[in-house]
């Protein structure tokens, strides 16, 4: 079936540097999401995005985080500056709408901040 | 906001035994309920999506039960096999924003 692609699959970065996680959502999907999963723990909602705007963000979505989807290309999550506690797996998801809630998840980007 | 509690955090069963994982949620207006399977290092695999109007769904080797009165969702693997060993997560969606609230997960180990 249709897939959500996440690039890169792994990223190691020095604390304080900027990182951009890229998500190529399913082509006709309109809603986009980022979730964070610390190793061995639950998936936690970060943010969702529709029509060029953030719909809702959680308390985990710190001021250092930002999302955008310029010109219908990748849906990106940028962290600037990174902190050690940002080390986690970040999953992107997309859906056609909200009412039917059919989500497609990517395979995740494993981010390690050192 | 919605809170989802999942039990047990770890579950070990013998091949052929049943395994039951349960979630409770708080928002009575929650409408969609999900069970996902996650193998180590992999993404989420959707097992089943349940609507509020449906109480029992049967999949391949498992049953999902939704009890709206008790705000309880359960996954029953009827005859577990080693390939079922993974982490399992329940999730509840917000019908206004599409946000998923996940349970803490259950690590299931099925021993031969």
Q: What is the per-residue pLDDT across B65-89, written as a single tens digit (0 to 9) for each? A: 998 889 999 999 989 999 999 999 9
Query: Residue B61's pLDDT band (boundaries 50, 70, 90)?
Result: confident
> So what's the pLDDT on residue B97?
83
CA-to-CA distance for A96 and A31, rounded, in angstroms?
Answer: 6
Contact check, Cβ <8 Å, B99/A45: yes
CA-to-CA distance for B12 and B98, rounded, in angstroms?
Answer: 33
Mention every residue, 6+ apart, whose C-beta is less than 8 A from residue B30: B2, B52, B71, B92, B93, B94, B95
Asked whether residue B53 carries a pLDDT value surpassing 60, the answer given is no
Better pLDDT: B17 or B2: B17
Q: Which residues of A touch B103 (CB under 8 A)?
A: 42
What is the Cβ-side half-sphere exposure of residue A77, based on CA atoms within 13 angstroms?
30
Task: Average pLDDT across each block of 10 residues of chain A; the chain has 114 residues. List them in order.
Answer: 91 98 94 92 92 94 95 91 97 87 90 97
> So what's the pLDDT on residue B98?
85
> So what's the pLDDT on residue B55?
64
Partner B contacted by A90 (CB < 8 A): no
Distance from CA of A16 to the nearest CA of B (A): 26
H/E segment holding residue A27: none
Contact check, Cβ <8 Å, A48/B102: no
Query: Residue B103's pLDDT band (boundaries 50, 70, 90)?
Result: very high
Q: Which residues of A touch B91 (CB under 8 A)?
A: 43
- If you average pLDDT over residues B20-40, what whole number do you get? 91
> So what's the pLDDT on residue B41?
82
> So what's the pLDDT on residue A78?
98
Asked whether residue B5 carries a pLDDT value surpassing 70, the answer given is yes
Residue in chain B closest to A10 (alpha carbons) equals: B41
* pLDDT, mean over chain B: 90
Q: Which of A48, A106, A108 sits opposite B99 (nearest CB)?
A: A48
> So what's the pLDDT on residue B59?
74
Share of chain B above pLDDT 70, in %: 96
């Amino acid at each position: 079936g249709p897939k959500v692609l996440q690039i890169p699959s792994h990223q190691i970065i020095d604390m304080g540097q900027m990182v951009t996680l890229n998500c190529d959502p399913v082509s006709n999907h309109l809603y986009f999401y980022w979730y964070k999963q610390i190793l061995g723990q639950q998936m936690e909602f970060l943010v969702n995005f529709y029509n060029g705007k953030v719909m809702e963000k959680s308390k985990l979505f710190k001021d250092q985080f930002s999302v955008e989807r310029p010109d219908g290309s990748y849906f990106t999550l940028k962290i600037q500056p990174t902190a050690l506690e940002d080390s986690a797996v970040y999953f992107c998801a997309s859906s056609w709408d909200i009412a039917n809630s059919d989500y497609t998840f990517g395979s995740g980007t494993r981010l390690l901040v050192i | 906001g919605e809170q989802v509690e999942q039990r047990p955090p770890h579950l070990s069963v013998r091949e052929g035994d049943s395994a039951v994982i349960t979630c409770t949620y708080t928002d009575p207006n929650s409408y969609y309920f999900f069970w996902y399977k996650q193998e180590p290092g992999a993404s989420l695999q959707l097992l089943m999506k349940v609507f509020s109007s449906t109480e029992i769904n049967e999949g391949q080797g498992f049953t999902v039960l939704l009890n709206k009165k008790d705000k309880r969702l359960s996954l029953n693997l009827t005859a577990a096999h080693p390939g079922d060993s993974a982490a399992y997560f329940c999730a509840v969606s917000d019908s206004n924003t599409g946000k998923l609230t996940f349970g803490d997960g259950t690590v299931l180990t099925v021993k031969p």
